[in-house]
Amino acid sequence: MAWDSTRPVPWQRMIREWLVYVALFTVVLLIFYRDQSFVGLLAALLVSGPLYMTIGYVLAKFGYQRKTWSEMRASNEQYKRDRKQSGGGGDDDVAGPRPKPAPTKRTGGGSARPGGPRKRR
């Protein structure tokens, strides 16, 4: 897709996602890096905000928009309904065991004598 300056940017969603990211990684960094100075790690987390917003802005202007969790669930449920209606079976349907493949030389089914003919010197 081409750049379109009229496309909306989901600022509230991006800020909410970034705040969740900062909260989670702050806890992770507190757990794993408690012996080190936390100021530098916190600064790195705060610098990631403008970077995330800039990348999200550019992607939104190019037309990229991720699906929400509810949209993904709805499409998954629709896929399952369509599959059951078409007779493709559901995810719960288990087919019988796979049939054995045809014997080959490598599986020992190619000749009656093991080892094959011997070479004479």
Mean pLDDT to the nearest integer, 103-109: 78
Torsion of CA 55, 58, 60, 62, to 10 degrees: -140
- Mean pLDDT over 46-58 rounds to 94
pLDDT at residue 17, rounded to an integer: 93
> Domain limits of the chain?
11-84
Inform me whether the pLDDT recorded for 41 exceeds 80: yes
Indicate the pLDDT class of residue 85, thresholds 50, 70 and 90.
confident
Quickly state the pLDDT bin for 92 (edges 50, 70, 90): low
Alpha helices (H) in 5-114, listed in sequence order: 11-32, 38-62, 69-85
